[in-house]
Structure 1
Amino acid sequence: MTRTPEATARWVETVPVRLVRLSGDFDAVSVEALVEPFLERLHHAEERLVLDLTAARLMGAAAARALAAHLRPGARRTVLLVAAPTAARVALGTSTEPGPQVYTTVEAALAALPELPAAVVRALTGTYGPELSREGLADLQQQVFGLTSKSRSREVIGMAQGIVLERYGLRSPSAAFDLLRVASQHHNVPVRILSAELVTAAPPAPGRAWFPGLTGRDENAAPHLALLAGKDLDAGDFKQVLRAVVARATTSADADAVEVHLPYAALGKALILEGHTGLEAAYRNEVAEVKDPLSLPVLVHSKAQTVHVPDLATDLNVGTSPAGRAALAAGSRALLGVPALDESRTGVGVITVHHRRPGQRLTEAQGTALEALAGELAVWLSWYRRVVVLNALEHLHTRAS
């Protein structure tokens, strides 16, 4: 009796490795139907597909030829094949052309990817083992969730690479990324932020500077912020300033946890977690990118006004959103979101503070201090994007031209 062919897939969040197991009896049609969709998802050069054939029976030459057509170098992105040596020869047919690298176990295939953390390998293979302690599980979650924000940046960076590649007639996507990386390092602007600005900025006129007049003008000098007074901090250092904002918010609101979300035009309505403290890994993963209109950061950003949630456990709006439920599971009960508004009263960021005690409210002095901090964040963000980021783009344009 034959088994109906099927494909089961496993991956950890959006780590660029897909593990796909094939099982059952295959013909050419079922190979196309079950393998093709996974291969089509490999859009980026760094993505890998690990194809496990140990439970599959490829019946007939037509099925083997259909699979082999997908696995030849140049036909698709990188594929690692897991199969017994004899099965691999059948799957790849009799062609003398070089095929994918063949491994006898999934673990061996994943181990061949040096950029993959060991914890992720365990998660992909499902071999945690009964000996994994609570601390070990927490470490695994930290490693896995820590990959999420990086993977979510990949799309906008890829868009920027494509624009740079075409605009300057470069030879490869890697050359485009090198330009982004060098400009990022020279001006200390994260690549994801530089990419997001590049995607939405008007293109430069041929043969001219992209953003002339950025230096030598008083209005382009770094703003004087109480946030940075008396501290040896560089106003042009994105990470330093965000850490200072988070620390000040924590102190001002006597908060148990704080998060700062920023919008980027290239990402539509999504808000990105750019600064935080006191957040558990699972919750941080949930709010790394938020779009749900009921999540507190999005609600505050859309209303451009402060929103207080006295108790997540009884709130029928924010408390019912995935982010709200995740915050409740992490021990937060009261939330307060404060918008950072620019001179035109447009939201440019959101500061959210968490308290573990339900019903907790800020004093008038605390509320005033938090609103002043949000105002300083807006002033700094306006300057940073208008001067620092555009200088980095000008640097890229000059080198590329």
Structure 2
Amino acid sequence: AAVTSTCVFCPDDTVAPGKGSHLGHSEDEGETVSEKPRTEQEPAEPTCLPDRARFDRKRGEMASSSPVTFHAVSGQVTLVCLSGSLNADSCVDLARGLQHHLRQAALHGQRLVLDMSGVPMLSSAARRTLAQATDHLAHLPVLIVEAHHHPRQVLERGNLLGIRLHDHLADVLAILDPAAPSSKIKASPAEPTAQSGAPETESAEALRLEVLGLRAKARTHALIGLAEGMLMTRYDLQRPAEAFALLREASQHLNVPMRVLASAVITAPAPQADAKFWFPGRATRPSAPTVGFLPVHNASAADRRQALTAALYEIVTVSYADAVALHLTDPAQDDALILEQHHALDATLRDHAARIVGPPAPCARAREQGQTVTVPDIAEDPALSAHPVGQALLDAGLHSVHSVPLLNPDGLCNGTVTLHWSKPGLWLTHVQSRELDVLAGDIATWRSWYRRTVLLDALEYLHQHHREAARSSPCFD
């Protein structure tokens, strides 16, 4: 059966990753500021946009339209991706969503799998909700994959009869062969896996790519949903559709991707009540920085996609690396490193690299230390080789890593450039290392300028036009 996907409770804004990869690919590929998919996001600089979001709880600045989001993939199995913190406030939505997807899975004779990679926290109340919905399924339990440390601990302590935990999606896909009838699927956690080295079926590969795409959607929806809630409260908007239309209008006018703008809305200090301007004391717009990689590729500093694509080409040209990842930090996501551009990373690697929180990933170490980190052989690094990121790199045939922090003129790290080679060793010459350091500094300088100019212009436009956008927004209810 063909694998199809649906998104519940939120608009579609991200496409599933494709099978191939190529020079110049961006994590926001296919994204424009209109109706096309949006997958990009931008962190904040320490001037007008603080390093962490500061919310006025009395004014309800953290309002959100939905505390928990379900994304579903259906084929021979039903796989649901959850996003958001599962706390007492989300129990009603959690129970309703579980009941719906359990009914659908039972109706079609399918097995239900929950991907919890987008759930950072799980409360005891949510655990009880899971138990009430699944305890009757001890003979054919719901399978949970990719649970973070805290949710996994909570679930393990609960000893839920109708739940089985698995580390990775690949483990479940090996167990739940989509080509096999559901009546032959065993419930035991020790159920046999697919024969080692057996080729993956086309259905399983399609399902895997759909799931990777849904994870990207969950990351996007969390930011956009929170920004919508803040705008609804701030501008007294009645429907999420009005807030979405406002974001889209500002995105289109300034050519700023939706997730970039949503992240800025979350992290920027709120404008004064009834103020005409968001940033009333803002100085004149500074000129674009003089950085080498922009004119070489005839790229506009104000066009984020052009600038990052030009930077990626320069990185590959200087380094001759087999694969490259360009990350930027995002305070709206606890300063996580977000994959913005890449060269030659397949869908699985893009999924692992999409959001890096901390070590042992070399890029996270480079960000924390503020200096270059080199791993000549991943297999010889115990912490990295045992981590999912290191395992994914080794599985892809990449064995050495070199990560350079992007240090802006203030000396703060706002991203990383990470190079990969298929063979172990140290592959950069001294000349290449110097050129790469200069390029990393140029990228950081450009990004600081972009944050202080183009993105603040977009926020100001949003503030000036919220009434017009609300009046012209269609009804999506």
State the TM-score, normalized to the length of structure 1. 0.68
Counterpart for residue 209 of structure 1: 277
Map 1:247-396 onto structure 2 (within 5 A). Answer: 247-396=313-462
Counterpart for residue 94 of structure 2: 40
Distance 1:317 1:311 in 2: 12
Distance 1:373 1:158 in 2: 35
Q: Match for 2:251 among 175, 181, 184?
A: 184
What is the one-letter code of the residue matched to 2:376? P
Distance 1:41 1:214 in 2: 47
Give how far 1:138 is off: 5.1
Aligned residues: 304
Report the identity percentage. 36
Asked if structure 2 preserves the Cα contact closer than 8 Å seen for 1:333 and 1:354, the reply is yes
Distance 1:301 1:378 in 2: 13
Distance 1:277 1:321 in 2: 22
Asked if structure 1 preserves the Cα contact closer than 8 Å seen for 2:179 and 2:203, the reply is no
Change (3 A) 1:366 1:128: farther
Asked if structure 1 preserves the Cα contact closer than 8 Å seen for 2:363 and 2:373, the reply is no
Give how far 1:189 is off: 1.1
Give how far 1:41 is off: 6.5
Distance 1:50 1:370 in 2: 52
Counterpart for residue 17 of structure 1: 72
Asked if structure 2 preserves the Cα contact closer than 8 Å seen for 1:214 and 1:391, the reply is no
Q: Match for 1:156 among 203, 223, 228?
A: 223
Whose Rg is larger?
A: 1
Give how far 1:321 is off: 2.1
- Residues 368-401 of structure 1 show CA distances to partners (whole Å, capped at 9, x for unaligned) of 1111111011001101111111110111000115
Asked if structure 2 preserves the Cα contact closer than 8 Å seen for 1:15 and 1:147, the reply is no
Higher RCO, 1 vs 2 (CA within 8 Å, ≥6 residues apart): 2
Counterpart for residue 8 of structure 1: none
State the TM-score, normalized to the length of structure 2. 0.58
What is the one-letter code of the residue matched to 1:173? P
- Residues 28-55 of structure 1 show CA distances to partners (whole Å, capped at 9, x for unaligned) of xxxxxxxx96842679xxxx84623449
Give how far 1:290 is off: 1.3
Give how far 1:211 is off: 2.2
- Alignment RMSD (CA, Å): 3.3
Change (3 A) 1:329 1:277: same
Change (3 A) 1:128 1:360: farther
Q: Point out where structure 1 has 5 or more consecutive residues left out of the alignment.
A: 1-10, 22-35, 57-121
Give how far 1:157 is off: 1.1
Map 1:87-236 onto structure 2 (within 5 A). Answer: 127-128=178-179, 141-206=208-273, 207-212=275-280, 216-217=284-285, 220-236=286-302
SS at match of 1:313: helix
What is the one-letter code of the residue matched to 1:51? R
Change (3 A) 1:183 1:50: farther
Give how far 1:141 is off: 4.2
Q: Point out where structure 2 has 5 or more consecutive residues left out of the alignment.
A: 1-7, 9-15, 18-68, 77-89, 110-172, 182-198, 468-477
Q: In the alignment, does 2:80 pair up with 1:51? A: no
Change (3 A) 1:343 1:191: same
Distance 1:195 1:42 in 2: 28
Distance 1:222 1:156 in 2: 28
Distance 2:272 2:421 in 1: 51
Distance 1:302 1:271 in 2: 11
Distance 1:397 1:198 in 2: 10
